[in-house]
Amino acid sequence: MSTLNILAVGDIYGADGLAFAKEHLRTVKSRFSADLVIVNAENASRGNGTSAADAKELLDAGADALTGGNHSLRHTGFFTVLEDCDNVLRPLNFPELAPGRGHCILYGPEGVRVLLLNAQGQVFMDYSIDNPVTATERVLDKLKGEYDVAVCDFHAEATSEKAVFANAFDGRLSAVWGTHTHVQTADERILPGGTGFLSDLGMTGVADSIIGGAKEGILAYYRTHVRTKIEDAKGECALHGALFTIDASAGRCTGVKRIQFGKESIQ
C-alpha cells in the first residue's frame, strides 16, 4: 500500500462559506495532492444544519465525504440524504433511531480501505448521547478486518475531551481531527502510537466575523442580553483544515499540516 493524503476541511459556515468551498475545494485538493477530501458540513445551510441541496453541491464540488455534528438533524429534508448516501455522516453516538449513520468506507490509492468515523463529544454539549469513546470502540470492533486505515472527525467543544478521545485511540485510528469551535488550533502532532491529531480544523467562512456570524448581532446580545437572530457574516472568506499524511501499510500518520487558504495567501 502507498502513502495516503487526507485533506480534512473545517466546518462550512453559511452561504458565503459554501460558495467559497465550492469554488476552491478542487484547487486546494490539487495543491496538496490530497487523495481524499472530507468536509464538515453541519453549518453549511444558513449557519445551522445541512440541506439536501447544499450537501449535493459540496459533493459535486469535490468532497469525497461529508461529516456532521450537533446540528446535523436541523433540516428534515436532509434526512433522506443521510439515509441514502453512504458517504454523508452524522455522529455515530446519536441515538440508534436517528436517521443516517456515523461511519463509512472510502477508497484511496491502490484500493486502500479507509474507515471514516464521525463522533460527537459530550462536554458542554449533549450528555444524553452515547459515550463517544465506547461507541467508537464498538464500531471499530464490529468492522475489524474490513478496513486498512481508520480516521475520525470528532465534533466537540472542549479541547480536553478531544485530547482524551485521540489518546484513547492512539494506534487504532490513524488520524483524529476536531471540529465545532470554528477556530483553528496550533497543536498538531503525532501521538506516540502513530495517530495524527489536531484539536480543531477551524472553519470555512467569512474571516471578519465571530465564528462565522455577523459581529453586530452578537455584540448587541453581549451588551443587552436580548436574543436576536444572528445573521451570517458577509465578506472575504478563508478555508481552514489540515492535511494528514498516512503510511497506509502501517496505519500510522507520518505528517500533519495545518491548511489556511484565503484570497491572498495559501500556507
What domains appear along the chain, each with residue ranges and CATH number? 3-206+236-262 (3.60.21.10)
Taking CA 169 as the corner, what is the angle to CA 246 and CA 64, rounded to the nearest 5 degrees?
A: 45
Q: Specify the pLDDT at position 263.
A: 66
Residue showing cell 455515530:
92
pLDDT of residue 1: 62
The predicted structure's pLDDT at residue 68: 97
pLDDT at site 93? 98
Catalytic (active site) residue 225: no
- Among 99, 88, 33, 32, CA closest to 65: 88
Nearest CA to 77 out of 57, 47, 52 is that of 52
Mean pLDDT for back-to-back runs of 10 residues, the chain (267 residues): 93 95 96 98 90 97 97 95 97 96 97 98 92 98 97 98 98 98 97 98 95 91 87 93 97 97 65
What is the per-residue pLDDT for 112?
Answer: 97
Predicted local confidence at residue 265, as pLDDT: 52
pLDDT value of position 266:
46
Return the pLDDT at 228.
81
Cα separation, 66 vs 252, whole angstroms: 23
CA 113 to chain centre: 19
**Residue from 71, 75, 103, 180 carrying the catalytic annotation:** 71
